[in-house]
Structure 1
């Protein structure tokens, strides 16, 4: 049989049961030798006889004494037809010389109760140490699996290849688990890529009808054409932002150091040019730059979605940013009716739409929008290592708070 074939056969029988059985057996043998050498009246005298007697010199495995811990002869039981006394050839004979002077009625050395207690204590300690070592040894594959599972979501969010576990290491159960995890991770990576591709395809295909709309603007009255041109420009910006976010995730673009205040000012200026009531807090002007490490397109999309939500339901959007809570907090406030406290968490789930009082709705009375703006903002914020929360303002309106770690 070749070495490779032998190795493959051993891999097939390398199970968790076999490893645990061997570990327990080795621990039991070691604990027996150590406890016998320390607690037994015979001490380590058996070691000197190994060279001449071989395995016959090894100490016997003791059994629990009957009727509690009492003095009893130490050694293997006598064979049928032989002397009733234990066969202790090689051990101290009944001549008055023994390690502790404790003997039975026939003068044979016995193991007192105190030595038995010490014997059992040493065995318990050594078995406990063996169990601790074995638990750490056998749980190592589970720790590797937990580590890989913890980094899987972050890796998929950043567009990196998912972590792969070595399917050649460990027992049969561990190798099967590694194979199942790797298969799942590859399937998730493929699904993420397909979803991003579909989103990019839809955004790209929208450019064709937008181009036709631009050509037809010349047939409209000047006032109508100007308003339509602004809507088309907003749609173009939305398409560019969506493609930029998909590109960042697909290419695993690393976060970049950026000036948060400058980004907020740029976004405010762009919205103001469209005639939208968006303002930025004056205290940002002249203040020290707030630098964060994030992906520019994703961060702009987060704040843009929060601004759109404030404009749709709160009639205006006021932006501010300041250091706090160990990072930077971006606030987007509006003057709308706010949200019921029980709906603050639910509204950030996908496809959830609430009809605010006074807010425009669909012709059939349903709330406007698709219910994805806040859900997308929350997802992108978590990908950037941030947090997003909503709260009602005491003076009325809603406040969206985006926390980002400082660079």
Structure 2
């Protein structure tokens, strides 16, 4: 379309100047000709360069200009840069108008008398605007006003002090009329094409948006709804492959969870037999082994509870995090916990029981290993952030990630044994990631801070 606009637009017309206007400017008169651009006048020590063999129209115009200035021809210089538009139009034979300059000699008693004051036999010029090839005959002719000049030129006359007074057209503006028309046509074409382009772009990118949302949903909850199988055949095939992947991931997670649950459950039977066989053992041995058995049973109970919570399909709902945390702190009655009020409501869409277990584990750790805990809730970059800080000894840099491994207990936890089995932080991170968030630990001289990030509710 852009090519068509540039090719089919009429070519920019060449500026036409009358010799009479040029002569008036060289005499000190007006610099605004009747046709063409305004003129500029300057004094130079030497005349503008002139071609060695000027074309016949330029030579004749120079003689005419000398007559109009009433000076010898040697004191006049006239250089024309003859350029004629429309070459591409004429070559392709599509539209456009061609300029034709005819030299005619008007003699006394010829077809029409010369204008008043013009001597018979004066060479005169007609400029005809011809129609397209095969079209009607010439439609109009400009008034005969002496030899015209087209396009760029420079005219000079020698002054009495030897310098040369030069007149030439002002330079073309940065955006001339023809360029302005072309830009308007291009802008119109853009306005015409833009809605169609936007429509097709949306048709192309809409499936990508759906895939992005489905991938984010899968990352937050593998049990989430499957992707809709709508759109072109290629998009439908990709959506089916995505849904198959989600089903396989969900099956893999369920199978692994079920296997761990079965193993944990089956371990209870040999532990029960060990308890029975220890009844006749000496007391020191019996007490030591029973302590180990109790610890193993606690670990099995924690694993089964985690699997039970992970396997249960619970609906998600909008929750006010500040209210949830205040309820947990109140339920912990007697423990040194405080909640700082949030400046704005912080709402998430989550499983209420899952978040209760997540924050309950973190609050228990804060009180158990840090004496007291402080809770702060705020928003940051589209996420809800909960920080639970304590006054405990903190953790070494190497333990900040390792403590999230199941059954791993840092040295401080083993020293201050509170009956845990090393699953609390692993469960907390698992729940946070199932909601599209995460849990990280930051240790400082003041203690340890657990920072939980969860996506804010979009509704």
Give the TM-score taking structure 2 as reference length: 0.49
Answering whether residue 285 of structure 2 is matched by residue 235 of structure 1, we say no
Gaps of 5+ in 1: 1-24, 41-67, 99-103, 106-111, 169-174, 270-278, 362-368
Runs of 5+ consecutive residues of structure 2 not aligned to the other structure: 14-80, 101-129, 150-171, 280-285, 416-420
Matches of 1:291 and 1:118, distance apart in 2: 55
1:339 matches 2:396: yes
Q: Are 1:381 and 2:432 counterparts?
A: yes
> Which moves more between the two structures, 154-163 or 84-93?
84-93
Distance in 2 (alpha carbons) for counterparts of 1:95 and 1:256:
81
Does structure 1 residue 95 correspond to structure 2 residue 140?
yes
User: Cα–Cα, structure 1 residues 296 and 74, in superposed 2: closer, same or farther, change >3 Å?
Assistant: same
Q: In structure 2, how many angstroms separate the alpha carbons of the residues matched to 1:187 and 1:338?
A: 39
Aligned to 2:180: 118
**Aligned 8 A contact 1:315 1:335 in 2:** yes
State the secondary structure of the residue aligned to 1:391: strand
Q: How does 1:234-383 map to 2 (within 5 A)?
A: 235-248=300-313, 253-255=315-317, 257=319, 259-263=324-328, 280-283=335-338, 293-303=349-359, 306=362, 315=369, 318-325=372-379, 329-331=386-388, 333=390, 335-340=392-397, 347=401, 377-383=428-434
The verdict on how the C-alpha distance between 1:294 and 1:79 changes in structure 2, with shifts beyond 3 A counting, is closer
Tell me how far apart the structure 2 counterparts of residues 317 and 181 of structure 1 sit (CA, whole Å): 52
The alignment yields a C-alpha RMSD, in angstroms, of 5.4
* CA shift in 2, pair 1:360/1:394, >3 Å: closer
1:216 positional shift? 4.6
Secondary structure class of the residue paired with 2:386? strand
In 2, distance between residues paired with 1:70 and 1:32?
18
User: Structure 1 residues 70 and 295, CA, compared in 2 at 3 Å: closer, same or farther?
Assistant: farther
Asked which structure has the greater CA Rg, the reply is: 2
Aligned residues: 308
1:79 and 1:220 map into 2 onto residues whose CA distance is 108
Instruction: Report how far residue 236 of structure 1 moved.
Output: 1.7
Note closer, same or farther for the CA distance 1:337–1:265 as it changes in structure 2 (3 Å cut): same
More strand by share: 2
Matched, 1:193 2:251: yes
Q: Are 2:227 and 2:239, in contact at CA under 8 Å, matched by a contact in 1?
A: no
Q: In 2 relative to 1, CA 142–280 (structure 1 residues): closer, same or farther, beyond 3 Å?
A: farther
Separation in 2 of the partners of 1:195 and 1:379?
13
**Structure 1 residues 376 and 357 mapped into 2: Cα distance closer, same or farther (>3 Å)?**
closer
**Structure (1/2) with the larger helix percentage:** 1
Distance 2:348 2:254 in 1: 26
1:401 to 451, 454, 458: 451
For residues 201-240 of structure 1, the aligned pairs below 5 Å read 201-214=259-272, 216-220=274-278, 225=290, 228-229=293-294, 232-233=297-298, 235-240=300-305
SS of residue in 2 equivalent to 1:390:
strand
Give me the whole-angstrom Cα distance separating, in 2, the residues matched to 1:180 and 1:393: 48
1:166 match: 230
SS in 1 for 2:227: coil
Q: Deviations over 1:356-386 (max 9, x none)?
A: 666659xxxxxxx99x975664453244355
Quote the Cα distance in structure 1 between the aligned partners of 2:215 and 2:390.
Answer: 31
Look up the match of 1:10.
none
CA contact (8 A) 1:284 1:320 kept: yes
Contact 2:346 2:379 in 1 (8 A): no
| CA displacement at 1:352 relative to structure 2 | 11
Structure-2 separation of matches of 1:191 and 1:350: 22
Hey, what does 1:391 align to over in structure 2? 442
CA distance 1:404–1:181, change in 2 (3 Å):
closer
Contact 1:260–1:290, Cα closer than 8 Å, also in 2: no
Corresponding residue for 2:167? none
User: In 2, Cα distance between the equivalents of 1:283 and 1:308?
Assistant: 13
- Pick which of 317-326 and 185-194 moved more: 317-326
Partners of 2:247 and 2:326 in 1: CA distance: 35
Residue 203 of structure 1 deviates from its aligned partner by 1.5
Distance in 2 of aligned mates of 1:205 and 1:333: 36
CA contact (8 A) 2:358 2:431 kept: yes
Deviation at 1:331, TM superposition (A): 0.9
Secondary structure of residue in 2 paired with 1:329: strand
Separation in 1 of the partners of 2:278 and 2:435?
44
